[in-house]
Amino acid sequence: MLSALLLDEELISLILVYLEPSVLCIMSEVNTRLKYSTTKDCLWREMCRRRWSDKVAQFQLDDRRQQILDEECNQSMTTWKQIYFEAERDAKRTKMSADELCSTTWSFSINQQNPTFYLNGLLVMEMWPPYSLFWELNEDGTLQVNHFPAHGFSRRADWGWTMRNCFVCFQSTGSRPALHAPPP
């Protein structure tokens, strides 16, 4: 039987990338060699790439995002393992900030409209003429739009957002810079 201690580092890395993160965390407690092998940034970067490959574009690990996260790791002593688990925690979050709401592009369930939320509290619908509503985030994390029932937030399997009440549903479609107000 070939002991894990006899395997060279390259072969260990090729095997580890196929294991579940929870198994890697357990293996890191076995001995110092496995701790070193299971905490390497190159392993966790690849874990991120694989895990995020079927997620919405903002989570996918393209070259640009990898460069940004590599710089974050170098500047703040953050590891790719920490980035991986932070993304997992974030994917379970069901509350949005105003900035996040306004920097997300949305599709509306009625007439496939693309509504725009602005930081000044306006929601502009693409009707003709455009229709403006007022919005605010409630203390319980729901979204209040005018007098309509509150909208709750949930996450999809692709880590995108769904926002709905008993009448309508919004689906996140991407991201853009948040805008303070609509153009005049």
- How confident is the model over 99-123, as pLDDT tens digits? 999 999 999 876 667 899 999 999 9
pLDDT of residue 1: 41
pTM of the full structure: 0.83
Cα 162 to the center of its chain, rounded Å: 13
pLDDT of residue 120: 96
pLDDT tens-digit map of 42-101: 999 999 999 999 999 989 999 999 999 999 999 998 999 999 999 999 999 999 999 999
CA distance 117 to 123: 5
